[in-house]
Structure 1
Amino acid sequence: MQYTFRNGSFIAGEDLKKLEATGFACDRAEHSFVCVANRSVIIDTTTNITVYVPTNQTVQEETSVRPYARQEDNLQYVTPVKILQRNSTSRVCQYNHQIPAVVFSTAFIGNLFHEFDDLIIPLFITTRHFESRVLLIMEDHNPWFLSKYSKIISRLSGYQVMNPAANRSIHCFPGSVVGLKYHNNLFLNCSDIPGGYSMSDFRQFLVETYDLKFWHVSQIRNPTLILVSREKTRRFLNEDEIVRMMQEVGFKVVIVRTQELSDLDKISKVVNSCSVLVGVHGAGLTNELFLPTGAVMVQVEPLGLEWASATYFGGPTETMGLHYLRYKITPEESSLVEFYGRNHPVIMDPASVFAEGYRVPGLLYVDQQDVRVDPGIYSLFLPPFIVIGLVLRTF
């Protein structure tokens, strides 16, 4: 019996023809690897997950999927799921389900950016069109992740998430998806999503999930700025001076420490009540997702991190409906100058350092660098905030 995926599936082109003909096909995209079965499958969790897909083909195929969204990452800690296309199996269903299953892994968590980029947004892309009528099977089960994102997960699925390690049994489903669809950094491609969901739809989903008050920045009466204060790496060494400058421009300033960012119920509402978010490049800027439309995100770019700043946080603001301003620090504003001197290649030629591979620049520019905005160049730093003030007054 064939299961009809509402609003279509992720499979297109020749793979779609294969899905329609055989009931099973995989989408091997640039970033992700997703396999779809639109007919009854048996999912055996008695050991590692094995999915049995019935077939009339004489050739019996085997596919292995590590069900994590970003396939270019190191997947050695992602438990593989075996998919076997067989014309018969001796396995007998212990549980029969009337809804399809989505199998995914939470192997990499602990960083807000990767939790949203690699898991939450791909989960939304992969499951939203099921309208909660889907059962999630979480390989490499992590209860902390479930607790932190319980509100989001409960809106994507109306059923308890299955932990296969604690549920060693055989289940039958009318269809299945193994793996999560991934598009790009904090991005949704509406033309490649069943139901055509966009970043605007995802942000509205967050507004509804966390009961956020503001959809557009024009609803905020007093300009409020939230400063993400890092405490270990890429810190503002003269944070007090920066805060005073922001207050002088006319903003009410809210300071949040990185350890406060894990409480999504609280931080989502704080960020949503602000007109501007400011921070040094880092995972905390993922909170731009909670800013109201028309708000401004200001990213301070440390030395050597220009590409990462633009790729991970700057670029995605466009589809979020946000204004983006970048402040690229001068060499004198980097703490690395104190260690290496003004003329060292680490300061003058970061590209030559990156040419040695990521390990060395990762230690230098990501883990060992702080920033001190020079009061003498506040005249250059202030104009963006003046612009922000003007932008806010136009709404």
Structure 2
Amino acid sequence: MPSVLTTTTAIGTAPGGSSRKEEAMSSCKERSGKNTKSWTPIVHLNVGFVVGVLFVLLTFLVFSQKAAISGLNVATTVAQPSIKGPGETFVTSGVQIQGSGGSAEKGTVVYNTKGGYSETCEVDGDVRINCSALSVFLVPTASSERHEWSILPYSRKTMPGIKNVTVAQLQGPAAAPACTVTYGVPAVIFALGGLTGNFWHDFSDVLVPLFVASRRYGGEVQFLITNMQPWWPEAYRTILRGLSKYDAVDLDGDEHVRCFPHVTVGLHQHNGLSIFPEWVPGGPLSTHDFTRFMREVYALPRDAPASLVREPEKRPRLLLVHRGHSRRIMNEQEVLRAAEAAGFEAVAVDFRRDVTVDEQARTANSFDVLLGVHGAGLTNLVFLPPGGVLVQVVPYGRMDVIATLEFGLPAKEMGLRYIDYEVRAEESTLLEMLGPEHPAIKDPDSVHRSGWDKMTEFYLDKQSVRINITRFAPTLAQAFDCLRQQ
């Protein structure tokens, strides 16, 4: 066969998880038995050696005969150069295949479902895209067995309402559509829609995975978008231009056959805003690299918070994210006064729809502390200077795990200090609304067992909070101390 097919299906475990530990243990098993002077092991060794040699020779003869009949290809890994961004190191590799006729050709399809959220295909070689049909073809130079994959090009592979992209290795060149546009740069195909429009999902579902997929190319990459939402590329134009020097192509209704040397189909979400360096194609990138990229493309001036060591009289700035709907802070003005009393210059900011992302980035970067109830507004942590502080108010209802995964862990990976404040039942508007005997108050675990929709209904959609200032004061003092320690 003139191309190599590689499938990666390590699902559901992050780097360093139990599966990796088990893998390490299985490859380093301790050998049992003692080293004695008995002749028996030597006899067994000699017999085993002879049998082993005969087996290898027999296998070689059979394998060689099959190879002579079918023209089997031999694959060897070769290094490829890549462009690197500031402060980032990449090592990429490709596969060069030696065909039965003696001429070298390239052709790989790597299917990846690592992590369980997403599915992607990396297609390398003579790659042709029938845009209107959402079909990607790998064209061999000789006859080949056909292989086919169906990929959802959104980073959540179960997302409804998005068309799949077909990836196929063709049987031969005769079946390939003729190119109408040919590129010398790689491409990334991805979908919009889904949960985009929510600020957190814009980053977790598209922008962070797109950074992972394309940063290795240093801008020399073409984006191909399906299920286009025209407002979205305009809203994030600064980020897209930082990743690609070229205008994105709207695949919907495009009649061209566009040809590339390499195509990534779909986006790989690692875990929300987090990036696992071991999973990055082309070499390690981190969540910290992503926030550095944010400061670079938006030309944000601050890469460190206020220094209370150098300027002890300076009042660090605290941004309180104002929410106008669910999960509001009902006593917002009291919280601001408490923050002022703790030593901050405190300001409530409403990131409305008419505020551009560029303006949000500059605003957030001018603060040292970001404070708010769990929600999309906390995504502005990607613009904070490293060393800044995120204070997340965790709604009542056993929401600590979700809050930590979506904001707490990424904050630490970004080089921020993270503090959470868990709301008690008496601080939640749910207590007055539902009464103390309601399961949402009395037994939050039962609500979580009822499923995501019930959990969302009570703890995200219906709840607001009235923070106990006396209880909250130590949290503000802790945030101030985090800055004083730097």
| TM-score under structure 2 length normalisation | 0.75
Structure 1 position 393 matched with structure 2 position 393: no
Instruction: Give distance in 1, aligned partners of 2:373 and 2:466.
Output: 11
Does the CA contact (< 8 Å) of 2:351 and 2:360 recur in 1? no
What residue in structure 1 maps to residue 139 of structure 2? 54
Q: Deviations over 1:75-99 (max 9, x none)?
A: 2212111112111325211111111
**From 277, 288, 301, the counterpart of 1:213:** 301
Distance 1:246 1:10, change over 3 A: farther
Is the partner of 1:36 in helix, strand or coil? Answer: strand
In the alignment of these two chains, the number of paired residues is 382
Instruction: Give distance in 2, aligned partners of 1:319 and 1:29.
Output: 20
Does the CA contact (< 8 Å) of 2:275 and 2:285 recur in 1? yes
**1:172-187, aligned counterparts within 5 Å?**
172-187=259-274
**From 270, 283, 307, the counterpart of 1:195:** 283
What residue in structure 2 maps to residue 15 of structure 1? none
Distance 1:5 1:103, change over 3 A: farther
What residue in structure 2 maps to residue 102 of structure 1? 188
- Which of 1 and 2 has greater Rg? 2
Q: Deviations over 1:183-228 (max 9, x none)?
A: 1121112222223222222111111111111101146853000000
Does the CA contact (< 8 Å) of 1:187 and 1:199 recur in 2? yes
Q: Deviations over 1:219-243 (max 9, x none)?
A: 6853000000111100011111111
Instruction: Give distance in 2, aligned partners of 1:205 and 1:261.
Output: 24
Aligned-residue offset at 1:340? 1.6
Distance 1:223 1:37, change over 3 A: same
Instruction: Give distance in 2, aligned partners of 1:57 and 1:76.
Output: 36
Aligned-residue offset at 1:8? 5.2
**From 69, 72, 91, the counterpart of 2:155:** 69
Query: Quick one: which amino acid aligns to residue 217 of structure 2?
Result: F
Is the partner of 1:316 in helix, strand or coil? Answer: helix
Does the CA contact (< 8 Å) of 1:226 and 1:276 recur in 2? yes
Q: Deviations over 1:320-367 (max 9, x none)?
A: 111111111111110011122123221121110121122222111111
What residue in structure 2 maps to residue 383 of structure 1? 474
Does the CA contact (< 8 Å) of 1:296 and 1:322 recur in 2? yes
Query: Quick one: which amino acid aligns to residue 69 of structure 1?
Result: S
Is the partner of 2:125 in helix, strand or coil? Answer: coil
**From 435, 459, 463, the counterpart of 1:369:** 463
Aligned-residue offset at 1:150? 0.3
What residue in structure 2 maps to residue 17 of structure 1? none
Instruction: Give distance in 1, aligned partners of 2:199 and 2:151.
Output: 25
**1:4-43, aligned counterparts within 5 Å?**
4=80, 6=82, 7=90, 22-30=107-115, 31-43=117-129
Instruction: Give distance in 2, aligned partners of 1:70 and 1:79.
Output: 13
What residue in structure 2 maps to residue 121 of structure 1? 208
Question: Identity percentage over the alignment?
Answer: 32
Q: Deviations over 1:240-289 (max 9, x none)?
A: 11111111222111211141685211111111111111000101111111
Aligned-residue offset at 1:181? 2.2
**From 245, 255, 273, the counterpart of 2:348:** 255
**Larger deviation, residues 166-175 vs 311-320:** 166-175
**Larger deviation, residues 254-263 vs 294-303:** 254-263
Instruction: Give distance in 2, aligned partners of 1:24 and 1:227.
Output: 47
**From 392, 396, 409, the counterpart of 1:315:** 409
**1:156-175, aligned counterparts within 5 Å?**
156-175=243-262
What residue in structure 2 maps to residue 294 of structure 1? 387
Instruction: Give distance in 2, aligned partners of 1:10 and 1:206.
Output: 27
What residue in structure 2 maps to residue 278 of structure 1? 371
Is the partner of 2:318 in helix, strand or coil? Answer: strand
Structure 1 position 137 matched with structure 2 position 224: yes
Instruction: Give distance in 1, aligned partners of 2:405 and 2:419.
Output: 14
Instruction: Give distance in 2, aligned partners of 1:145 and 1:259.
Output: 16
Instruction: Give distance in 2, aligned partners of 1:163 and 1:266.
Output: 27
Aligned-residue offset at 1:294? 1.0
Distance 1:99 1:10, change over 3 A: same
**Larger deviation, residues 105-114 vs 256-265:** 256-265
Distance 1:32 1:9, change over 3 A: farther
Instruction: Give distance in 2, aligned partners of 1:90 and 1:319.
Output: 45
Instruction: Give distance in 1, aligned partners of 2:406 and 2:191.
Output: 22
Is the partner of 1:337 in helix, strand or coil? Answer: helix
Structure 1 position 79 matched with structure 2 position 163: yes
Instruction: Give distance in 2, aligned partners of 1:97 and 1:21.
Output: 17
Distance 1:297 1:90, change over 3 A: closer
| TM-score under structure 1 length normalisation | 0.91
Instruction: Give distance in 2, aligned partners of 1:329 and 1:128.
Output: 39
Instruction: Give distance in 2, aligned partners of 1:294 and 1:224.
Output: 13
- Between the two structures, name the one with larger relative contact order (CA 8 Å, sep ≥ 6): 1
Aligned-residue offset at 1:28? 2.0
Instruction: Give distance in 1, aligned partners of 2:279 and 2:354.
Output: 31
Instruction: Give distance in 2, aligned partners of 1:359 and 1:10.
Output: 44
Query: Quick one: which amino acid aligns to residue 383 of structure 1?
Result: P
Distance 1:37 1:208, change over 3 A: same
What residue in structure 1 maps to residue 421 of structure 2? 327
Is the partner of 1:271 in helix, strand or coil? Answer: helix
Does the CA contact (< 8 Å) of 1:231 and 1:258 recur in 2? no
**From 438, 442, 452, the counterpart of 1:344:** 438
Q: Deviations over 1:128-163 (max 9, x none)?
A: 001111110001112211011101101111111000
Query: Quick one: which amino acid aligns to residue 112 of structure 1?
Result: F
Gaps of 5+ in 1: 13-19
Is the partner of 1:315 in helix, strand or coil? Answer: helix
Instruction: Give distance in 1, aligned partners of 2:191 and 2:353.
Output: 26
Is the partner of 1:110 in helix, strand or coil? Answer: coil
Instruction: Give distance in 2, aligned partners of 1:22 and 1:97.
Output: 17
What residue in structure 2 maps to residue 16 of structure 1? none
Does the CA contact (< 8 Å) of 1:67 and 1:103 recur in 2? yes
